[in-house]
Copies of this chain bind each other. A is one copy, B any other.
């Protein structure tokens, strides 16, 4: 056995030793995780990031020598897959394709090579030789198209002249002893793969040791054997990880060394049984290294699929799961906002908001679309109408087909459309009527019972959502949800259209009744129901009595839609002409009002006090805005003919037919009994109750 007998003649082979370079193997999971990191953590940060890959020495013949990066690559302290060796890497993720292309790749490689040379010189690589196996990954992620541009580099220090082989590589012997020794080493080191090790033969057994034990392990210095965990599958060539080891050995022990025997350790499982037979043994003569020499030359940029020096690109837009792709794409535009423009934007607060849309007509469709744009996933529609032929051109969730056969129900068709737009949405539709003041429900026991069920359903829906949008086309249909939402302390966003004017407003948000929270056994549900949008102000509310009527009104003192009215709502549809029945409005108006309603909600959600925030007014336009997105007005009144908006704010009215304490009190105490009186009565019931009647009489008396 020549390799452990006398020193061989130093008759060298003609050809230099050649190494099989790494091929980069990037799993889709890696790109997915890079996307997430880019969106959530790195944003515009181009500074180098530590990542981790791994390689395996058990691949079947024919596979390239792979360095694999997967989902876990960003957890550098995480575990390496069993029987694999780690490779530490540096990620340079550039913000633009241009930066990707123009990066100084030579400098990047030299910097990395210098670090390897440093750990060789310092001896750090002896105690942890895995740091000899490194890589650089330069990337640009085009997250609009899911095109990932990348270029790998596996830095290898080079001897000035090549490495000469003493003889051709041969297959190994002492299979069992080698295998046992390696397994023992692994056990000793508490790992499943050792990248570099020392070895020597004693009769039929083999001993192995750590690199750092060189001087004690080897009795003679002229001919030693080392092992390398070798990912290469070629019979005549070792893989790339050997390269920097040879530099280390040449640097530290090369001057005395005449023959270096290298075990390229390969360890695969074939048809269920382990085999290291294909491991290869090399006998090398290392070139001399000048002591204290400068950092050697380095190589390592990977060739692309055409075999040329150049980057690679992977297009993942087609192979990723489309629905997941859609979800992450939708998030992208939103997260982009936080990179540069509004770093403090609390997107989760927006996205997790559950929105109830009462009305799925012109306003409802536009509100839903804007909510989708903001990433809101939980959208519920209530409407009792069917889609008619005039709807699709103005109600952007419906199409001509939806009108056929008498028309689909708007509430359910709207849900279908949202799902077609974005399969990840969580939308529901309720084809139901909302009972209204002055629209009697007491024709029969059946109608009365149906009204009661409708009220219960509406109460449940309002309870289950965070924000209630009032988007109906009559005044009186807004009464019941106004009362219920006020009682349940839910944020209400109300939008209503004229011909070329609109109002978008938030209702005043009553303070949570303190006694409810301390009495009863459900104090947690009380506080949690108030937590989402109706978070109670952190400090005492700025509500000093006698403060201005028109500015600095805190949210809990703001009026509702009915506060400015001095008559109770009644049946307004009964005697309306066609132009009054259809909300005849300039077609752009609903898009503007719908968009503003959502933008207003989002701004309010960004305020630390939510619906309790002091109302911004037109005068506040010149001041520092109260949220990262700007103002939180009480009302936006728009005038399309003048392309103008004003931002009035007004106080809650103590005789309001919807949100005054006496109405809420009756509703909370009597429930449906009270409501059905309102439905079945004329104006005067609510007006008598709230004191409006008396107010009218006094006003008339004063005028007389």
User: Which A residues are within 8 Å of any B CB, using their own CB?
Assistant: 44, 95-96, 98-99, 142-145, 317-318, 322-323, 325-326, 328-330, 332-333, 336-337, 339-342, 366, 369-370, 372-375, 388-390, 392-394, 396, 398-401, 403-407, 420-423, 499-500, 574-579, 581-582, 584, 586-589, 591-592, 594-596, 598-600, 602, 621, 625, 629-631, 633, 636, 640-645, 647
Contact = CB atoms under 8 A, between A and B. Distances in A.
Given A329-B389, A389-B326, A592-B596, A621 B642 contact: yes
Contact of A388 (B329, B336, B595): B329
10 contacts: A96-B574, A96-B577, A99-B575, A322-B389, A322-B403, A325-B389, A333-B582, A400-B423, A592-B596, A643-B645
A599 B576 contact: no
A80 B576 CA distance: 37
A317 B643 contact: no
A577 B647 contact: no
A641 to B, nearest CB: 3
A423 B401 CA distance: 10
Contacts of A332: 390, 582
| Chain B CB within 10 A, most for which of A330, A423, A595 | A595
Number of copies of this protein chain within its complex: 2
Contacts of A625: 641-642
B406 A393 contact: no
Nearest to A332: B390
Contacts of A642: 621, 625, 630-631
Contacts of A370: 587-588, 591
Given A401-B420, A596-B643, A636-B643, 11 more contacts: A96-B576, A317-B388, A326-B400, A330-B389, A336-B584, A370-B591, A393-B422, A400-B421, A400-B422, A591-B591, A643-B647
Contact of A588 (B98, B422, B598): B598
Contacts of A629: 500, 586, 641
Contact of A390 (B329, B392, B630): B329
A44 B577 contact: yes
Nearest to A386: B145
A145 B388 contact: yes
A337 B647 CA distance: 27
A399 B418 CA distance: 9
A392 B422 contact: yes
A372 B420 CA distance: 21
Nearest to A637: B643
Contacts of A401: 420
A602 to B, nearest CB: 8
A634 to B, nearest CB: 11
B96 A366 contact: no
A579 B389 contact: no
Nearest to A394: B373
Nearest to A633: B643
Contacts of A582: 144, 332-333, 336
Contacts of A317: 388-389, 406-407
Nearest to A389: B329
Given A144-B581, A591-B592, A629-B586, A393 B372 contact: yes
A578 B340 contact: no
B596 A594 contact: no
Contact of A599 (B329, B422, B588): B588
A390 B598 contact: no
Nearest to A323: B400
